[in-house]
Amino acid sequence: MKSHLPIRPELREWILTTTRAGHSVDAVLKLMQETGYDPRQSRGIVATVLNMPISALDPHVSASASKGRRTRHPEAPHVVVDGRTVHVGLSVDSPELRVLNDFLSVEECAALIEQSSPRLQRASTVDRSGKHQVDARRTSEGMFFTIGETPLVRSIEKRIATMLSIPVDHGEGLQVLHYLPGQQYEPHFDWFNPEEPGFPAITAKGGQRIASIVMYLNTPEAGGGTAFPEIGLTVTALRGTAVYFAYDTGDTASLHAGLPVEKGEKWIATKWLRERPFQTSSR
């Protein structure tokens, strides 16, 4: 069970700021215990703030692996996809993470920005019932393409499917996000929390999320990287580069954040992959 006690705004902000700065969840729990918090209460508070199962914070309980299809992880030094050479610039084992250089061309990045710009609106997240809602943790603007909506989208979806050895229909619609100076996405997980009441509805149309790929469509003047605080890694936002990472349900190593843009702007395209074919529905 998560904590049902009121969480002070300053405590919530401290947890988010501390994880975003590169401290692991275990380090946050230890700091809370040192300042007088009961360990059980601390786990409940952190699980609530980060929207994760409290069982994931028990060192004696392993994460539950998804039973559906999994992705194939690209291996260094490069992978050739439909005639395009994608270079694996960095490999991490936990979580399974790859930095993919030259994933998109300069022309593809510019075209995605151009096609998405007229449809931008305040970016949303998936709430506990499975519906999209505006969330204070995400301050960007964004939009979704439907599966195969344009020739460019179809080409990118095919590239992802081929590279990761997973059918196109296991992916959610491609989302494009636009961040201005100061905008960010606070530490979060992409997998859905099975302890939330809306979990059955969220996963009924495709199962659990199993992997994400974030594609950088431009290079911000400063800031805007993707931080993985559990492993002390920040991926720099560079045009044409992508970061791919896979995870199981309850995998705390996949905690990540879109760092604030310090100068300029940031454009990214994100694709989430499911363990089963994803059934689209009206938003």
User: Distance between CA 63 and CA 53 in Å, rounded?
Assistant: 10
For residue 36, what are the CA distances in angstroms to 15, 45, 84, 206, 224? 15, 14, 55, 43, 35
Q: What pLDDT does 127 receive?
A: 55
CATH of range 78-274; options 3.20.20.70, 2.60.120.560, 2.70.98.40, 2.60.120.620: 2.60.120.620
The helix (run of H) or strand (run of E) holding residue 73 is none
Question: For 166-184, how does the pLDDT look when each residue is reduced to its tens digit (9 = 90+)?
Answer: 999 999 999 999 999 999 9
User: Distance between CA 79 and CA 60 in Å, rounded?
Assistant: 37
Cβ neighbours of residue 171 under 8 Å, at least 6 residues apart?
147, 157, 160, 161, 271, 272, 273, 274, 278
Q: What pLDDT does 62 receive?
A: 44
Question: For 234-247, how does the pLDDT look when each residue is reduced to its tens digit (9 = 90+)?
Answer: 999 999 999 999 99
User: Distance between CA 43 and CA 69 in Å, rounded?
Assistant: 31
Peptide bond into 95 cis (omega under 30): yes
The phi, psi pair for 216, rounded to 5°, reads -90, 120
Tokens of 65: 């692996």
Q: Along the 283 residues of the chain, how does pLDDT read in single tens digits?
A: 445 567 888 898 899 888 877 788 888 898 988 888 888 888 889 888 887 777 777 654 444 445 678 999 999 899 999 889 999 999 999 999 999 999 999 999 999 999 999 999 976 555 555 555 555 555 789 999 999 999 999 999 999 999 999 999 999 999 999 999 999 999 999 999 998 888 999 999 899 999 999 999 999 999 999 999 999 999 999 999 999 999 999 999 999 999 999 999 999 999 999 999 997 754 4
Q: What pLDDT does 60 receive?
A: 47
User: Distance between CA 215 and CA 235 in Å, rounded?
Assistant: 11
- Domain-by-domain residue ranges, the chain? 9-57, 78-274
